[in-house]
Amino acid sequence: MDVNAAVAAAAAIAGVLTGVIAMLAFRWSERDQKRPTRTSLHTDPVLPPGVDTVLSVLRSSAVVLDEADAVVKASSAAYALGLVRGGKLAVEPMLQMARDTRRDGEIRQVELDLPRRGTGRGEALAVSARVAPLGSRLVLLLVEDLTEARRIEAVRRDFVANVSHELKTPVGALSLLSEAVMDASDDPEAVERFAGRMQIEATRLTNLVQELIDLSRVQNDDPLEDAEPVRVGELVAEAVDRCRHQAGTKQITMAAGGTAELSIWGNRGQLAAALGNLVENAVNYSPARTRVGIAARRVTAPGGDLIEIAVTDQGIGISEKDRERVFERFYRVDPARSRQTGGTGLGLAIVKHVAASHGGEVTVWSSEGQGSTFTLRLPEAGAARDRVIDHHMPGLDEDDETEQPDGTTTVSSPYEPLPAPEVLP
């Protein structure tokens, strides 16, 4: 009996000890789980309150890096610029800046030229990168795209250089011619010849200054402040009258059609200057005894009806490489021919700005040796459209399409036939 009691007591003591040991082991395990370890120190960082919202409204590309250089947050613009790839910052100079800032806490800024993604032309992407600490563990990188600003600055520099060159040419010629007149004061024929040249250079200088003024005006003024319905027929008649003398001298036939009852909404003076420049170029760059045509039509567009005015010539045409640059300031396809015609290279730049400021566009189709067609597309005046809707003619929307040699398609107006050419004396 005593032996059995002793065995039972020993078993009970052993059970109690086992329970105590199990409890101690469980508590020890819990404490170990709560104790910070090497891996638990690197938990995913959390952005400070409000930072996520601020980054979402910034215009700059934003990237937030943790202490392991992993991307915590990146804006869509950062991905679009190719700054972030595979969860890592892909630009080594920016990554080094982030590490230096994390080490000493100083704000750093640098401008870099990065390769542009998706192009094989080696074009550089100009950016300004600024790195600053964000809390104790994070680093904020802000990247501003300066490519467009650099391009505009280059255009301005080229513009100033071109203006200086273009102004120096006639001014220098006038200076030399005036000296020649003084030296030939006893030779009436020489004086008359040099005076004629001085008049030509003075006219060239006047035209250049006037076109610079016109270009500055169309760039700075809002044409819609003084907008009004402008009849296309009146604009065409004014453009034809402006070039009547030059066309008559070269025996060029000018014909216009499709302009009845069409109106454009905009600034009359700017529209007249733009169309006049197109017609004048067509006459100046056309050989003698050829034809210049001006046609207009209405086209349907999602934002409202547009008026197309096409100016077609049978001139020398424009090569494919020049077609992309003809609307640049001072760019001339044939500089030697421009000197003969008195061109300044600003006429098409003015046309482009007038079209853009009126909510339209200007395009060009051309083939070397066959001629060119410049097309203005401008918003129609709503009131004029309402007045002529009752006079809608059958077949108004059935356009006659013609395929050009280069595969482009031009459209002629079917609702008003081109009248017989007006042959100028």
What CATH number is attached to the domain comprising 155? 1.10.287.130
Q: Which residues contact 379 (CB under 8 A, 6 or more apart)?
A: 264, 265, 266, 304, 305, 306, 307, 358, 359, 360
CATH number at residue 62: 3.30.450.20
Last residue of a domain, one of 220, 246, 278: 220
Co-location of 74 and 165 in the same domain: no
**7 domain residue, yes or no:** no
| DSSP-derived secondary structure for 179-238 | HHHHHTTT-HHHHHHHHHHHHHHHHHHHHHHHHHHHHHHHHHS-GGGG-EEEEHHHHHHH
Residue 238's pLDDT band (boundaries 50, 70, 90)?
very high
Is there a single domain that holds both residue 387 and residue 296? Answer: yes
Helix or strand or coil: residue 416?
Answer: coil
Range from 64-78, 115-129, 352-366 carrying the lowest mean pLDDT: 115-129
Which range (25-39, 121-135, 286-300) has the least confidence? 25-39
Taking the C-alpha atoms of residue 99 and residue 90, their distance in angstroms, rounded to an integer, is 14
In this structure, are residues 192 and 180 in contact, taking their beta carbons and an 8 Å threshold?
no
Mean pLDDT score of the chain: 75
Share above pLDDT 90 across residues of the chain, in percent, rounded to a whole number: 17
Domain boundary residue, one of 166, 187, 220: 220
Is residue 382 situated within a structural domain? yes
Residue 44, pLDDT above cutoff 60: no
Confidence of residue 39 (pLDDT cuts 50, 70, 90): very low
Q: Which domain holds residue 73?
A: 54-145
pLDDT at 313: 93
Residue 17 lies in a domain: no
> Are 311 and 395 contained in the same domain?
yes
Q: What is the pTM of this model?
A: 0.52
For residues 155 and 125, state if they share a domain.
no
* DSSP summary character for residue 422: B
User: Do 398 and 325 form a contact (C-beta atoms < 8 A)?
Assistant: no
Residue that terminates a domain, selected from 205, 220, 235: 220
Q: Is residue 387 part of a domain?
A: yes
Q: Is the domain of 402 the same as that of 353? A: yes
Q: Indicate whether 213 and 227 sit together in one domain.
A: no
What is the DSSP track for 322-344?
HHTTTTSTT--S-HHHHHHHT--
Say yes or no: 109 and 162 in one domain: no
Q: Is residue 418 part of a domain?
A: no
218 exposure class (CB count in 10 Å sphere: 0-12, 13-18, 19+): buried
Q: pLDDT digits over 247-275, tens only?
A: 999 999 999 887 778 999 888 888 998 99
Give pLDDT tens digits for 124-150.
Answer: 788 889 999 987 788 899 998 888 888
Q: What is the 8-class DSSP label of residue 247?
A: H
Residue that the structure tokens 């200086």 belong to: 164
Q: Read off the pLDDT band of 389 (50, 70, 90).
A: very low
Above pLDDT 70, what percent of the chain? 70
In 3D space, the residue among 126, 108, 107, 106 whose CA is nearest the CA of residue 116 turns out to be: 126
CA distance 288 to 128: 55
Under a CB-based contact definition with an 8 Å cutoff, are residues 294 and 239 in contact?
yes
- 240 shares its domain with 107: no
41 within domain boundaries: no
pLDDT value, residue 23:
64
Q: Are 268 and 393 contained in the same domain?
A: yes
CATH number of the CATH domain containing 327: 3.30.565.10
**Is residue 42 a part of any domain in this protein?**
no
> Among positive and negative, which fits the CA dihedral 233, 234, 236, 241?
positive
Domains in the chain, number: 3
CB 320 within 8 A of CB 314: no
pLDDT at 17: 59
Whether residue 63 is found in the same domain as residue 82: yes
| DSSP-derived 3-state class of residue 286 | coil
Q: Domain check: are 257 and 395 in the same one? A: yes
* Residue 296 predicted with pLDDT over 50: yes
Task: Using the predicted structure, report yes or no on whether residue 54 has a pLDDT greater than 60.
Answer: yes
What does residue 133 show for φ and ψ, rounded to 5 degrees?
A: -70, 145
Residues 168 and 183 in one domain: yes
Decide: 65 and 72 in contact? Cβ < 8 Å. Answer: yes
CB neighbours (10 Å) of residue 234?
14
The neighbouring-strand residues paired with 234 are none
**Buried (b) or exposed (e) across 20-59, using 16+ Cβ within 10 A?**
eeeeeeeeeeeeeeeeeeeeeeeeebebeeebeeebeeee
For residue 402, pLDDT over 50 is answered with no
Output 136 or 229, whichever has higher pLDDT.
229
88 in a structural domain: yes
